Amino acid sequence: MSTVKNTIRPLVLAFSHVFRRVFTAKYPYEAPSRPSRCRGRIMLRIERCISCGTCEKICPNIAIKMVKLKGSDKLCPQIDFGRCMFCYFCVSYCPAEALIGTELVEISVYSKEKLIYPPEKLAEEPKWPDLLPKPKRVKLRVVGRRGAGHVEIGRE
Amino acid sequence: MMQQIWDLILGFLTSKYFLQLFFIPGIAFIGLFTLIVVWFERKLLARVMLRYGPLHVGRVAGILQTLADTLKLLFKEFIPPRKAYKLGFYLAPVFYASVPTLALTAIPFSPTWIVYPSDVGLLIAYAVIACTPILPIIAGWACNNRYTMIGGLRIIFQDVAGEIPLLLSALGVVMLSGSFNLVNIVNAQSRYWFILLQPLGALVFFISLIAMVERVPFDIPTAEQELVFGWRTEYGGILFGLTMFGEYISLAAGSLLFSTLYLGGYLGPNPFPGFIPSDFASMAWILLKMAVMVTVLIVIRGAYPRLRIDQLLNLGWKWLIPLAMINTVLTMLMIYFFPWVGGA
Amino acid sequence: MSLRKIPGGNIIVTSINEVIQKIANWSRLSSLWSVHFETGCCCVEIMGVSCSRYDFERFGTLPISSPRQNDLLIIEGVVSKKMAKRARYIYDQLYDPKYVMALGNCAITGALFWDSYSIVKGIDKVLPVDVYVPGCPPRPEAIIHGFRLLQEKIRREGLTRRKEKPVVVKR
Ligand code: SF4
Ligand code: SF4
């Protein structure tokens, strides 16, 4: 008898799932909020950097190299994001808080060289890639009896 | 003169042969069925997993997904492996895609709409179903690859375990209607569908049908986790597309056969008798029943894990065949004591 | 595909070759079936992106296990020198047109194994890579962005894929 029950149950469950809410966030169109400790690409505030070189020394992957800024003698970190493992040692050890983390993770490229960010590029504000549409911000919510799903923030 | 030629062309275009070849159950039906069902299967399986499935191709619900897949397979290359038996490698998928379509010729879509009307329609359908497994075996052997060979061998096991209960369970239907002719079988169900008189036989038939069309609880020959892709491992490009096409045509033939034998086939009320020709109503009814069957088969795919080959053999030999025999005996008793149940 | 508009007229001239090319590219980019070369923790993120929350199948991908039917090889994670030969072998088994995505920094440069004796410092020494997705491991969003970049690359491609120079694996 239990065999029959165990055979019928998954079928009923599968059928009932068809009428449940879809859980998916349509990512390039809807962006679910990222966790607060999400580690994306690192941003440099050039005016704060004191060129101490701590970040270069602390980086476990030798991803940071101190290079001269264009048109001046100031040394600033250059990060190779193909090598960085997003441990954020550099961010936490920087004495002047010149390096800060951001939430931007969409930094894929066609060629490896583009992943080496010189200080000027590192100083840019994280920019949403042109390729992707501007997403709606969504949040995970349980609505009614049809289960959890992503709902646009502000329209809950 | 022109008028005669025009009449001839028009007569040919509206003749039964032309319509059967190009519409139901011909090219248009087969092509549209595959395009729609592959998309529908991916969407429904995704819904079982609370996903969307194909969504962005073709803007509306990923409706062009199957078309894109087919075109991509057409634009892709395929290479026979070294030391492969080239003829078998190329021809097996072609025949695997075309042979199951023959089973559609025996199915009545309305009392008169059968490509090959015959007194032994059921046997023709069975003969075609028995033919198809030979092709994967040839393909598996021709590819000169271990995985394809094992996949081909598993098909032999699976078919012996699946085909005998398939034949035996339909025996009850034949006894009740007193005919091998599928039209007579359908007409015998005008009072009750045979699924009500033969629940056990229908269950056995259904399970062995899934095994015969190699759908998921019994997709042992193409088990992705054990054999790389079973007997399809070496096929790429459009040859792979043809193997998948054949699988979906078998699915169509299997669901049509089940609806014909147990769900009353083309029988159904015609809502506007004067307005809609009765042929169309019959076709709509059998296609609707087929759609229900296909949906059930897809949800079963989403619900169950795959059986091992020994579990399938146990199921086939120790359960399905005895149950089919019990069903036959029960049907005999039923006909003996209540002769009025059958249509014969 | 270039649609040329005749000045002063509304006629758009386009050659049949370009139409076929556009159709081929569209079909290729919208059904990129993928085979995974799972050697590191990045494969967990691939599971994350294929599951309900991000649902990779929306773009038409389908994980099929045999390389013969696939178009996209995803190198997930760290590839040792012994494994690199196998990666190349899998790549050669894919039928043309084929694309490669290097997922995670181990596949791109070797990342935290930068001083290891046994790790290939970047899978591009072994295979021609189409798109690099950095991250350690990359979030599902990053993977989808990389995938969209790859689709964009295919959209601008010619009908026949350019011949890649085969890379010889040094033992
Ligand atoms: S996050 Fe870690 S690995 Fe990356 S640059 Fe900073 S210290 Fe180096
Ligand atoms: S970024 Fe911070 S740690 Fe690095 S050189 Fe500048 S001040 Fe020093």
**From the CA of A127, how far away is ligand 1's center (Å)?**
20
Domain coordinates in residue numbering, chain A: 42-127
> CA distances (Å), C3 to each of B154, C8, C29, in order?
53, 15, 20
Inside any domain, residue C165: no
3-state secondary structure of A73: coil
Axis-axis angle for helices B121-131, B146-177 (nearest 10): 170
> Residue A32: beta bridge partners?
A138
Q: What is the pLDDT of residues B313-328, one digit of tens each?
A: 888 889 889 999 999 9
Pairing of strands A64-68, A75-80: antiparallel
Q: Given this model, what pLDDT does residue C171 score?
A: 41
pLDDT over 60 (residue B264): yes
* B172-228 residue pLDDT tens: 888 888 888 888 888 888 888 888 888 888 999 999 888 888 888 888 888 777 888
Q: What span, in angstroms and rounded, lies between the C-alpha atoms of C171 and C160?
A: 32
Q: What residues of chain B have any CB closer than 8 angstroms to a CB in chain C?
A: 42, 46, 49-57, 62, 64-65, 67-72, 74-79, 224-225, 228-229, 232-237, 240
Single-letter amino acid, residue B53:
G
Q: How far is CA B337 from the centre of its chain?
A: 35
- What is the rounded distance in angstroms from the CA atom of residue B157 to the CA atom of residue B153? 7
Q: Are strands A136-142 and A148-152 parallel, antiparallel or unpaired?
A: antiparallel
C167 occurs within a structural domain:
no
pTM of the model: 0.85
Query: CA–CA distance from C150 to each of B80, B214, C27, C132 (Å)?
Result: 29, 35, 14, 9
- What distances in angstroms separate CA B254 from CA B6, B56, B205, B294, one per listed residue? 40, 32, 10, 9
- What would the pLDDT profile of B93-131 be if each residue is shown by its tens digit? 899 888 888 888 888 888 888 888 888 888 888 888 888
pLDDT by residue (tens digit) across C13-57? Answer: 567 777 888 888 888 888 888 888 888 888 888 888 888 888 888
Residue ranges of domains in chain B: 1-75, 80-337
pLDDT digits (tens, 9 = 90+) for A96-152: 888 888 888 888 888 888 888 888 888 888 888 888 888 888 888 787 777 788 887
Rounded Cα distance between B163 and A125, Å, is 67
Of A27, A60, A81, the CB nearest to C141: A27
- Backbone φ, ψ for residue B83 (5° rounding): 65, 20
Burial of A2 (0-12, 13-18, 19+ CB in 10 A): exposed
| Average of per-residue pLDDT values in chain B | 85
The pLDDT of residue B161 is above 80: yes
Q: Per-residue pLDDT for C149 more than 80?
A: yes
pLDDT for the residue numbered C107: 87
What sign does the dihedral C130-C135-C138-C144 (CA atoms) show?
A: negative
Nearest-CA residue for ligand 1 atom 3 is A84
Asked if C147 contacts C8 with a C-beta cutoff of 8 angstroms, the reply is no
Look-up: residue for tokens 């394809």? B148
A42-44 and A99-101 as β-strands: parallel, antiparallel, unpaired?
antiparallel
Write down the mean pLDDT value for chain A.
85
Q: β-strands A148-152, C131-133: how paired?
A: unpaired
Pocket of ligand 1 (CB under 6 A): A 58-61, 63-64, 79, 84-90
For B112, which DSSP code? S
Strands, sheet with A75-80, edge to edge from the N-terminal-most edge strand:
A64-68, A75-80, A116-117
pLDDT band at C162 (very low <50, low <70, confident <90, very high): low
The CATH topology of domain A42-127 is: Alpha-Beta Plaits (3.30.70)
The whole-number average pLDDT for the span B162-169 is 88
Range of the domain at C108: 31-155
H helix or E strand, kind and range, residue C35: strand C34-38
Q: How many domains does one find in chain C?
A: 1
CB atoms within 10 A of CB B342: 18
pLDDT at B81 over 60: yes
Burial class of residue A45 in the structure, from the number of CB atoms within 10 Å of its CB (0-12 exposed, 13-18 middle, 19+ buried): middle
Looking at residue B326, its pLDDT comes to 92
Question: Taking a C-beta distance cutoff of 8 angstroms, is the pair C89, C95 a contact?
Answer: no
Tokens linked to B97: 């895609």
What ipTM was predicted for this assembly? Answer: 0.86
Whether residue C160 is contained in a domain is answered as no
Residue C23 belongs to some domain of the structure: no
Atom of ligand 2 nearest to the CA of A96: 7
Q: Measured between alpha carbons, how far is B262 from B198 in angstroms, rounded to an integer?
A: 8
- Residue to probe by mutation, ligand 1, list A39, A89, A102, A117, most atoms within 8 Å of CB: A89
Residue B292 is predicted with a pLDDT of 92
The mean per-residue pLDDT over the stretch B29-51 comes to 89
User: Does residue C169 belong to the interface with chain B, where contact is any CB pair within 8 Å?
Assistant: no
Question: C5 falls in which pLDDT band (50, 70, 90)?
Answer: low
Nearest CA to ligand 2 atom 2: A94
Evaluate whether B72 touches B84 at the Cβ level (below 8 Å): no
Q: What is the average pLDDT score of chain C?
A: 81
On whether residue C25 sits in a domain, the answer given is no
Residue-wise pLDDT for A41-67, tens only, equals: 888 888 888 888 888 888 888 889 888
Q: Is C53 close to A23, i.e. CB distance below 8 A?
A: yes
What is the CB < 6 Å shell around ligand 2? A 49-55, 77, 94-96, 98-99
The CATH number covering residue C109 comes to 3.40.50.12280
